[in-house]
């Protein structure tokens, strides 16, 4: 009798403890479906590793998992906010030369197969185009992220070791990006273009091409009690006015990251005051690419003149109605951790008093032989999309005031990147999206000699050495100083003058809870903790 | 009659061939190809991968070979694979066809329902204030860009009612009334435009008929105006109208392109625009050919109908 | 202008102007009284043409100058029709847009109609095999829906004003050919043509000197009818992103993307360009109708 009472007492205590521990969790309600905005159809299906666009990452994220991910609840992303998904624990060894992951046990793919270290090795061998990789990707935009990996070992089914050629603390951050999910080893990578086999919180129910993507809850998800929602539906609406109207009338519950401008958000809020609007940085910068291999922009003075001519703050006011943040290559603080502070920015071209800046630009041009009687005539290329064209129009206006006559050439979307990669242009107005706010990811992709995304064809050996130096630097404070100096140098070389970083006014209905937008459009699409309040 | 049909069919087939060549060449005239379109949104293509993809899609063969391949596929009933989605083109197009067909038919119904009565009234009350008013209203429909009308409707709805028609397709089995609403609004937008032309033709043909001898005879015999109009005039006036319906059908498709885009209806026309922008050759080629088949068939049907309705017309004799 | 040219061509070209024939002004006056709608249409077209020609003096601002302070400004004395999301003055953009719409519309209509007209003329005049083959080719071009053909051509050629003009003129070609051919078939049987053949005047000279001038009436009607169509197609192409490129203001492009997004805050963005397009097409349709009624005796009274 006594024993059973003790047992009962213990059970009661345990129950109370459970309730207390799980207390906050009980506020979330299970069930319901939410409709999410999608601006266009998935161009590469669910093959995130073959895609460079948010249009694939946003709808494909619910079905997949990473090794590690940025904490969904924290808007500012950094090393400190990395949490494990498929990896339970991880540790750097050997002075950041080897990265060991201890994987979660009992995780299953959506088709029932068990998840093991083999899947991780398979994914990243394929993505880094290892010589003995089991398959090849049709398109591989982020191969360079993994260029430093020597080998990947899977000593047992729940351990993976990444062996690097040299220390690289940034690897962990790149693995935490929405661009780095884990594929299944028993599925051909090409199949991800048509369907999605993942371990994620939601299973793909149907992809109706050109219309929607539908998900249902994964009952075997490895996080108990998640996901809260029964399903998700990503609805494609190409026409911008119709898209906004759908959000306003409640047919869509959540907007798409990066798609809501300040004015649109104001309009929505006016019409539906209870909508939740959160301004976030998008990790997308407006920048100017100049062909450094062809005249006139092979001359750094001319490039610098262009940079001086463009009043950054005026651009933010005119083109984005204030919904932009001035900064250099890395995301400015407080949205990111590597950005330049106000005092650093003040010394850069384009940030001082507009009259002074324009005078500097004119002087630089005069030094090279251009002047009021001999204007510099160039052709500015940009993509034939409104957000590009608006920015380009403003820039052309600015350039006109310092004696650079630019005509605008609109390039159709399909032509833009091939044209830029070939160097078939003089100057262009460009947008660049960063998958993760990390110096390695940014510098190597956009400024390294020979990188296919380095559209300016800018190549500076000294700066390359600086990239290398900061990449192996283990002391975070020292590294920050190095990264700041590199950003200044890049702006002074006018390698790819950054005009601003766009802000997005991410909007959703108040009954959607648990969705916290990050200062990066690619990394908060998992939808694992999202629930519906009615 | 039979030889006439055979003759027309033969010409129709020849025309289709011609169209296929025109479309085939036009598409390949375009700078940029599917590879560039596929990987445009921020990526790059490794040159080796590029060559491999082009070979996989058969784009590296010489033009005549590509055309022959396409024609061979059409005859086998194989519409090829969509470059973008990597699935058979027919699989992608098939669910879209009923949507566009339904919208086209509904639009035509609206157009006739609006156009014929107003045309008759306008003709009977020729040169009165009502006539002018109707003509102006109908002409306004012909002058307004259909995408603008669609935009104004949607934006007006959301501004005043906080509601817009569903943005995903609602099938009639799911919810008949919602389905009807979803289709009626775009049908009105497109139909208004077509009704203008139908109204004008109806008006002019009724006017012409009203002058005819047999009408004057009927009037002289004492039959009331209404009987005259309905029994004699309309029956004959309807003939040119039917011809116009045939011609309008082709014209309709242009209006459907923008309307489907604005109202977010998953139809063939909207898809065609996307496919053109993507240089998804199989889709564009086959869709345009498909459209041409429809147009030619409708025209043939209209001509046959004409032959049946007008006793003065007899083909083949 | 159009009306006076038309009246001159109603009479067969070979005959001289008989004494006592009413002058231009009287004919115009009569036209205005008999066809008030047509006169209104002509008036609209005239205003549009003047706006296009006098775009610069008529504008209040530079149509491509952006202004951070004036974004989405409502219509006021500073901005007569308000400003768009970049602070550009809408009135000035509409005024300059008239130039673009009119140039593209007229150029493509004239190009398409002229080329199509010549093809129709020769095809109708010579008949036989030439006619048969030409007609089939025209059928092919016409079988493709106007907008679709223009879309494909525009995508094929790339965005630029000359390319848009070509893209829109191609679908007009077969329609023009058909109309002119019908007219030629009718005229071909006229006695003076037979007479001319009888005395041995070469075919081409007959075709161009005798038959052609008598097709001018239908040709003008065709042009005004197609002009409205051309303006609409240009607007639609620009709306879909395949039309006239920046920086030329285009009414259709003013309506795409940004306009719809800000429509509730600034409905004038959506309203005014749409009204401009509608008015222009409306005017050309009215004029075309009236001209057809006047010039094409078979349709008189209709």
Segment A247-301, tens digit of pLDDT: 999 999 999 998 898 888 988 998 899 999 999 999 899 999 999 888 889 888 9
CB contact under 8 A, A271 and C264: yes
Q: What integer pLDDT is reported at residue A517 of this predicted model?
A: 95
Q: Which two tokens stand for residue A493?
A: 């070389």
- Percentage of chain A with pLDDT > 90? 58
pLDDT at C299 over 50: no
Size of interface B-C (CB pairs under 8 A): 143
Residue of B nearest to C155 (CA): B30
Secondary structure class of C147 (helix, strand, coil)? helix
Of the two residues B103 and A333, the one the predictor is more confident about is B103
Q: What is the mean pLDDT of chain A?
A: 89
- Percentage of chain A with pLDDT > 70? 95
Flag whether residue C260 sits within 8 Å of chain B, measured between CB atoms: yes
pLDDT beneath 50: ranges in chain B: 41-42, 315-317
Q: What integer pLDDT is reported at residue B31 of this predicted model?
A: 63
Q: What integer pLDDT is reported at residue C2 of this predicted model?
A: 36
Q: Which of residues 195-254 of B touch A (CB under 8 A)?
A: none
pLDDT at A219 over 90: yes
Measured CA to CA in angstroms, residue A296 lies from A376, A406, B180, B252, C176 at distances of 9, 13, 61, 51, 49
Q: Which residues contact B103 (CB under 8 A, 6 or more apart)?
A: B183, B186, B187, B190, B256, B259, B260, B265, B267
How many Å apart are CA B202 and CA B243, to the nearest integer?
Answer: 11
CB contact under 8 A, B36 and A414: yes
Backbone angles phi, psi at A230, to 5 degrees: -80, -25
The angle formed by the CA atoms of residues A69, A87 and A483, to the nearest 5 degrees, is: 45
In this structure, the number of other CB atoms found within 10 A of the CB of residue A81 comes to: 16
Model confidence, pTM = 0.83
Instruction: Tell me the shortest Cα–Cα distance from B151 to chain C, in angstroms.
Output: 7
Using a CB-CB cut-off of 8 Å, the residues of chain C touching A384 are 159, 241, 245
- Closest Cβ–Cβ partner in B31, B143, B254 for C281: B143
Q: What integer pLDDT is reported at residue A65 of this predicted model?
A: 96
pLDDT at C7 over 50: no
Q: What integer pLDDT is reported at residue A81 of this predicted model?
A: 94
Q: Which two tokens stand for residue B67?
A: 């055309």
pLDDT band of A174, cuts 50, 70, 90:
very high
Alpha helices in A185-322 (DSSP H): 240-248, 262-271, 300-309, 312-320
Cβ(C263)–Cβ(C254) under 8 Å? Answer: no
Each residue's pLDDT tens digit, B104-151: 889 988 988 988 888 888 887 877 888 888 888 888 888 888 888 888
Q: What integer pLDDT is reported at residue A28 of this predicted model?
A: 85
Residue of A nearest to B36 (CA): A414
Give the per-residue SS3 of chain B: CHHHHHHHHHHHHHHHHHHHHHHHHHHHHCCCCHHHHHCCCCCCCCHHHHHHHHHHCCCCCCHHHHHHHHHHHHHHCCCCECCCCCCEHHHHHCCHHHHHHHHHHHHHHHHHHHHHHHHHHHHHCCCCHHHHHHHHHHHHHHHCCHHHHHHHHHHHHHHHCCCCCCCCCCCCCCCHHHHHHHHHHHHHHHHHHHHHHHHHHHHHHHHHHHCCHHHHHHHHCCCCHHHHHHHHHHHHHHHHHHHHHHHHHHHHHHHHHHHHHHHCCCCHHHHHHHHHHHCCHHHHHHHHHHHHHHHHHHHHHHHHHHHHHCCCCCCCC
- Closest Cβ–Cβ partner in A45, A251, A421 for B164: A251
Q: What integer pLDDT is reported at residue A44 of this predicted model?
A: 80
Cβ(C74)–Cβ(C65) under 8 Å? Answer: no
Q: What integer pLDDT is reported at residue A61 of this predicted model?
A: 96
Q: What integer pLDDT is reported at residue A23 of this predicted model?
A: 45
pLDDT band of C4, cuts 50, 70, 90:
very low
Residue A70 pairs in a beta bridge with A82
Q: What integer pLDDT is reported at residue A138 of this predicted model?
A: 77
Each residue's pLDDT tens digit, C254-276: 887 667 777 777 888 888 899 99
Question: Exposed/middle/buried for A375, CB within 10 Å: 0-12, 13-18, 19+?
Answer: middle
Instruction: Tell me the shortest Cα–Cα distance from A417 to chain B, in angstroms.
Output: 6
- Closest Cβ–Cβ partner in B154, B157, B266 for A210: B266
CB contact under 8 A, B22 and C235: no
Using a CB-CB cut-off of 8 Å, the residues of chain A touching C73 are none
Q: What integer pLDDT is reported at residue A255 of this predicted model?
A: 96
Q: What integer pLDDT is reported at residue A13 of this predicted model?
A: 59
Q: What integer pLDDT is reported at residue A63 of this predicted model?
A: 96
Q: Which two tokens stand for residue C294?
A: 């006047």
Measured CA to CA in angstroms, residue C151 lies from A79, A403, B265, B275, C55 at distances of 49, 38, 20, 11, 29
Ramachandran region, residue A278 (left: φ > 0; alpha: ψ -120 to 50; beta: rest): beta
Q: What integer pLDDT is reported at residue C203 of this predicted model?
A: 72
Neighbouring subunits of C (3+ Cβ pairs under 8 A): A, B
Cβ(A133)–Cβ(A153) under 8 Å? Answer: no
- Closest Cβ–Cβ partner in C86, C87, C245 for A410: C245
Q: What integer pLDDT is reported at residue A274 of this predicted model?
A: 95
Instruction: Tell me the shortest Cα–Cα distance from A516 to chain B, in angstroms.
Output: 26
How many Å apart are CA A523 and CA A525, to the nearest integer?
Answer: 6
From C104, C102, C84, C105, select the one nearest C272 (Cα to Cα): C84
Cβ(A115)–Cβ(A96) under 8 Å? Answer: no
How many Å apart are CA B147 and CA C274, to the nearest integer?
Answer: 10
Q: Which residues of C touch A (CB under 8 A)?
A: 64-68, 71-72, 85-87, 155, 158-159, 241, 245-247, 256-265
CB contact under 8 A, A393 and C72: no
pLDDT at C13 over 70: no
Using a CB-CB cut-off of 8 Å, the residues of chain C touching B15 are 136, 139-140, 143
Instruction: Tell me the shortest Cα–Cα distance from A255 to chain C, in angstroms.
Output: 14
Residue of B nearest to A138 (CA): B49
Each residue's pLDDT tens digit, A188-201: 998 998 899 999 99
pLDDT at A17 over 60: no
Q: What is the mean pLDDT of chain C?
A: 77
């Amino acid at each position: 009798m006594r024993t059973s009472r003790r047992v009962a007492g213990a059970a009661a205590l345990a129950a109370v403890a459970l309730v207390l521990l799980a207390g906050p969790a009980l506020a979330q309600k299970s069930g319901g479906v939410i409709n999410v905005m999608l601006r266009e159809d998935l161009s590469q299906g669910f093959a995130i590793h073959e895609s460079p666009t948010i249009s694939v990452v946003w709808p494909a994220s619910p079905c997949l998992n990473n090794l590690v991910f940025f904490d969904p609840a924290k808007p500012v992303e950094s090393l400190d906010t990395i949490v494990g998904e498929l990896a339970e624990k991880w540790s750097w060894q050997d002075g950041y030369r080897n990265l060991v992951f201890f994987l979660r046990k009992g995780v299953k793919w959506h088709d029932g197969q068990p998840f093991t270290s083999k899947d991780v090795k398979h994914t990243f061998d394929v993505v880094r185009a290892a010589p003995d990789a089991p398959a090849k990707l049709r398109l591989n935009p982020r191969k360079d992220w993994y260029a430093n990996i020597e080998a990947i070992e899977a000593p047992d089914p729940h351990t993976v070791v990444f062996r690097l050629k040299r220390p690289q603390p940034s690897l962990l951050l790149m693995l935490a990006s929405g661009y780095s999910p884990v594929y299944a080893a028993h599925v051909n990578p090409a199949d991800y273009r048509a369907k999605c086999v993942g371990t994620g919180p939601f299973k793909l129910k149907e992809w109706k091409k050109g219309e929607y993507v539908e998900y249902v809850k994964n009952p075997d998800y490895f996080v108990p009690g998640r996901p809260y929602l029964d399903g998700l539906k990503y609805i494609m609406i190409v026409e911008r006015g119709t898209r906004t109207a759908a959000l306003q009338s409640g047919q869509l519950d959540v907007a798409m990251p990066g798609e809501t401008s300040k004015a649109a958000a104001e309009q929505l809020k006016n019409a539906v005051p209870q909508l939740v609007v959160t301004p976030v940085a998008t990790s997308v910068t407006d920048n100017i690419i100049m062909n450094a291999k062809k005249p006139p922009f092979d001359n750094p003075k001319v490039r610098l003149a262009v940079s001086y001519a463009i009043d950054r703050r005026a651009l933010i006011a005119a083109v984005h109605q204030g919904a932009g943040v001035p900064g250099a290559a890395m995301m400015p603080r407080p949205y990111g951790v590597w950005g330049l502070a106000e005092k650093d920015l003040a010394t850069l071209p384009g940030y001082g008093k507009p009259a002074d800046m324009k005078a500097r630009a004119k002087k630089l041009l005069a030094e090279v032989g251009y002047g009021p009687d001999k204007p510099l005539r160039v052709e500015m290329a940009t993509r034939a999309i409104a957000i590009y064209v608006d920015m380009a129009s403003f820039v052309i206006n600015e350039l006109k005031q310092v004696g650079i006559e630019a005509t605008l050439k609109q390039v159709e979307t399909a032509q833009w990147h091939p044209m830029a990669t070939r160097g078939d242009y003089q100057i262009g107005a460009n947008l660049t999206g960063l998958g993760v706010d990390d110096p390695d990811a940014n510098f190597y992709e956009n400024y390294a000699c020979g990188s296919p995304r380095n559209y300016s064809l800018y190549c500076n050996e000294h700066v390359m050495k600086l990239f290398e130096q900061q990449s192996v630097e283990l002391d975070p404070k020292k590294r920050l100083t190095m990264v700041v100096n590199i950003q200044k140098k890049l702006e002074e070389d006018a390698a790819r003058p950054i005009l601003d970083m766009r802000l997005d006014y991410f909007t959703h209905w108040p009954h959607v809870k648990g969705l916290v937008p990050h200062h990066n459009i690619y990394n908060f699409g998992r939808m694992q903790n999202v629930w519906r309040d009615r | 009659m039979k030889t006439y049909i055979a003759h027309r069919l033969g010409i129709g087939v020849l025309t289709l061939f011609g169209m296929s060549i025109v479309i085939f060449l036009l598409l390949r005239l375009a700078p940029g190809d599917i590879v560039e379109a596929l990987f445009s949104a921020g990526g790059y293509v490794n040159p080796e991968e590029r060559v491999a993809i082009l070979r996989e899609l058969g784009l590296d063969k010489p033009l005549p070979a590509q055309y022959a391949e396409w024609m061979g596929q059409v005859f086998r009933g194989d519409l090829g694979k969509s470059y973008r989605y990597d699935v058979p083109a027919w699989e992608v197009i098939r669910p879209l066809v009923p949507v566009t067909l339904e919208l086209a038919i509904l639009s035509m119904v609206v157009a006739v329902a609006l156009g014929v009565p107003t045309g008759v009234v306008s003709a009977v009350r020729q040169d009165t204030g009502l006539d002018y008013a109707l003509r102006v209203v109908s002409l306004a429909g012909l002058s307004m860009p259909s995408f603008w009308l669609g935009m104004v409707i949607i934006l007006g709805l959301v501004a005043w009612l906080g509601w817009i028609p569903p943005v995903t397709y609602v099938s009639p089995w799911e919810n008949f009334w919602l389905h009807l609403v979803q289709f009626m609004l775009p049908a009105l937008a497109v139909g208004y435009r077509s009704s203008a032309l139908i109204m004008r033709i109806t008006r002019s043909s009724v006017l012409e008929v009203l002058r005819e001898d047999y009408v004057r005879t009927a009037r002289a015999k004492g039959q009331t105006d209404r009987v005259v109009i309905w029994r004699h005039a309309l029956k004959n006036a309807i003939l040119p109208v039917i011809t116009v319906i045939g011609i309008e059908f082709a014209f309709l498709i242009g209006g459907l392109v923008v309307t489907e885009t604005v109202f977010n209806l998953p139809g063939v026309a909207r898809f065609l625009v996307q496919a053109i922008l993507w240089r998804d050759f199989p889709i564009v080629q086959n869709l345009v050919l498909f459209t041409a088949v429809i147009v030619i068939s409708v025209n043939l049907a209209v001509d046959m109908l004409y032959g049946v309705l007008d006793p003065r017309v007899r083909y083949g004799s | 202008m159009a009306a006076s040219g038309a009246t001159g061509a109603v009479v067969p070209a070979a005959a001289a102007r008989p004494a006592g024939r009413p002058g231009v002004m009287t004919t115009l006056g009569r036209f205005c009284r008999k066809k008030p709608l047509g006169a209104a249409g002509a008036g609209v077209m005239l205003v549009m043409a003047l706006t296009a020609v006098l775009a610069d003096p008529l504008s209040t601002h530079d149509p491509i100058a952006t202004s951070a302070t004036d974004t989405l400004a409502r219509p006021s004395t500073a901005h007569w029709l308000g400003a768009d999301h970049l602070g550009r003055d809408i009135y000035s953009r509409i005024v300059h847009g008239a130039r673009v719409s009119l140039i593209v519309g007229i150029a493509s209509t004239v190009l398409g109609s002229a080329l199509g007209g010549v093809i129709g003329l020769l095809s109708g005049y010579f008949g036989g095999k030439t006619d048969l083959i030409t007609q089939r080719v025209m059928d092919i071009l016409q079988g493709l829906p106007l907008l679709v053909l223009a879309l494909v051509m525009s995508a094929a050629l790339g965005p630029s004003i000359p390319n848009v003009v070509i893209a829109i003129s191609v679908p007009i070609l077969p329609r023009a050919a058909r109309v002119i051919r019908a007219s030629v078939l009718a005229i071909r049987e006229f006695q003076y043509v037979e007479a001319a053949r009888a005395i041995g005047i070469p075919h081409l000279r007959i075709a161009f000197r005798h038959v052609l001038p008598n097709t001018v009436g239908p040709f003008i009607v065709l042009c005004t009818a197609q002009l409205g169509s051309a303006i609409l197609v240009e607007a639609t192409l620009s709306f879909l992103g395949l039309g006239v490129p920046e920086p030329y203001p285009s009414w259709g492009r003013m309506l795409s993307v940004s306009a719809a997004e800000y429509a509730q805050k600034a409905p004038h963005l959506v309203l005014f360009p749409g009204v401009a397009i509608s008015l222009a097409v409306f005017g050309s349709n009215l004029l075309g109708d009236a001209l057809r009624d006047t010039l094409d005796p078979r349709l008189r009274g209709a």
